[in-house]
Amino acid sequence: MKYYLASNDLYVEMQSSVFKQIQLQAESEYPNENGGILIGRYSTDRHTVHIEKIVVPVKKMTGRTMFMRNTKGMEKVWEQLAKDGLRYVGEWHSHPNGSTKYSSTDLATMVEIEKEVSIENPLLLIVGVRSDGVSAHTFYCYKNNKLLEYRKMIDLRDLFHGLQKQMLASLNVNREFIGHPGSKGDATEQHWIEFLRTYLPDRYKVDKAIVIDSMGNVSEQMDIVIYDAIYTPFIFNQDGFMYIPAESVYAVFEVKQDVKGNIEYAAQKVESVRKLKRTSIGMVASGKSLPARPLTKIIGGILTTTSSYCNNETIKAQLKQLKGLQTLDLGCLCDTGSFYIDYNEIIPDSISPTNNIEDNRKYIEQVYVSREVNEIKFSDKEVSLFTFFLQLVSYLKFIGTVPAIDINAYLKAIHVKIDEDI
């Protein structure tokens, strides 16, 4: 639990277990007030207070609108805290059936406390408590005869832990209650699609689809295709299948219940997309004519709910065996961890991207042919979705925008040509 005072660049960090103790203390005296002493340590730069425990006063007086404490007789407590490297950092008390806004009495008390303990910026924590438990809490810092309010910061790790638990719960329900393998697979794919649709920026679209090129070649049906939402000029829907032009594709993924036995299969499906013939033509951006952009990589990976392998070494060995267009970039095994593969890509000087589309095709193919695994890195299982998602976003950011599609290359199939100038 972390709090921030922007005006003074000050932070408070409090262990969840400490707040749990405060919560129990506040609720135990309801409808009377209760309170105690905050104990912790300061960071080296004095910008952060780390609260590590609370001390219950030996003597105290409580009432519905008052709390008073006395620290006499606690000398041995202070001595032990000092030996542990801890010290007094502030006060806390509850407001039964009230807000967490400080009162004039609270401010006056902090003025006296600063004189008594001789520390800079002592803290005040006010906890709102009702008949059904603690409802809110607010940290204040006493400074220059004022109580300045901290803002609670978001713990991204907790946020993504919650997201991961929610996602895993949905995936596991599918496995437990959907008996038919095909139906189970469809439901799992849909959960992944909805997850990516929800959290990826709006410039990306996510669907189950078949990828096509201007020659009429098609890929295998891909469980997840991430493609451009702005520069995709057409999408076909026929006989229940969605067809997306290869030029619009950023990434493709195979979705399985378990990773065991499916890495090579996923690689073959990714290859079916990468080997399609993509076009690229010049375009106008911000009023300036730009030459045809070199073809970009197409991200490929695998997404599973579980891994039946005893360890990740088996998975790493299988990933290292993949070559060329079958190489995978990243994946997520929800109950095991996410992974990404760092490649060495050594491309001969004789092959380089140019304004010529055939040169571009040779170049991007050579990128995959030259790939040698440098490192395969797995995340902790507790943050598998978190790290997979951020790694995916990083790769997408590196790609930027897909090359502009040559629409006339597709129109050759119906012997039509459009004028692309105005």
Q: Which domains does the chain have, with CATH numbers?
A: 2-153 (3.40.140.10), 158-414 (no CATH)
Residue 328 has pLDDT above 50, yes or no: yes
Map residue 3 onto helix, strand or coil. Answer: strand
Q: Any idea of the CA torsion for 162, 163, 164, 170, to the nearest 10 degrees? A: 110
Residue 166 has pLDDT above 80, yes or no: no
- The β-bridge partners of 128 are 95, 136
pLDDT category, 178, cuts 50, 70, 90? very low
Q: Which DSSP string do the residues of 276-307 spell out, in sequence order?
A: S------EEETTEEEPPPPPPP-EEEEEEEE-
Query: Which segments within 153-198 are labelled E, that is strand?
Result: none
Q: Is 256 a catalytic residue?
A: yes
38 close to 123: Cβ distance less than 8 angstroms? yes
Q: Is 223 a catalytic residue?
A: yes
- Residues 121-157: tens digit of each pLDDT: 888 999 998 988 888 899 998 888 888 888 888 777 7
Q: Which amino acid is at 107?
A: L
292 close to 281: Cβ distance less than 8 angstroms? yes
How far apart are alpha carbons 311 and 315 in whole angstroms?
8
241 close to 221: Cβ distance less than 8 angstroms? yes
Residues 6+ apart with CB under 8 A from 233: 245, 405, 407
Average pLDDT of 4-10? 84
Structure tokens at 354: 């140019």
How far apart are alpha carbons 148 and 142 in whole angstroms?
6
Residues 6+ apart with CB under 8 A from 374: 342, 343, 344
Comparing C-alpha atoms, which of 167, 160, 158, 195 is closest to residue 306? 167
First to last CA, the chain: 58
How far apart are alpha carbons 206 and 193 in whole angstroms?
6
- Residues 49-101: tens digit of each pLDDT: 899 988 888 777 788 887 878 777 777 887 888 888 888 888 888 899 988 99
How far apart are alpha carbons 290 and 404 in whole angstroms?
10
Cβ count near 137 (within 10 Å): 22
- Residues 224-256: tens digit of each pLDDT: 999 998 878 778 887 778 999 999 999 999 999
Q: Is 254 a catalytic residue?
A: yes
The single residue of 223, 247, 329, 406 carrying the catalytic annotation is: 223
Average pLDDT of 414-420? 66
The single residue of 205, 228, 256, 269 carrying the catalytic annotation is: 256
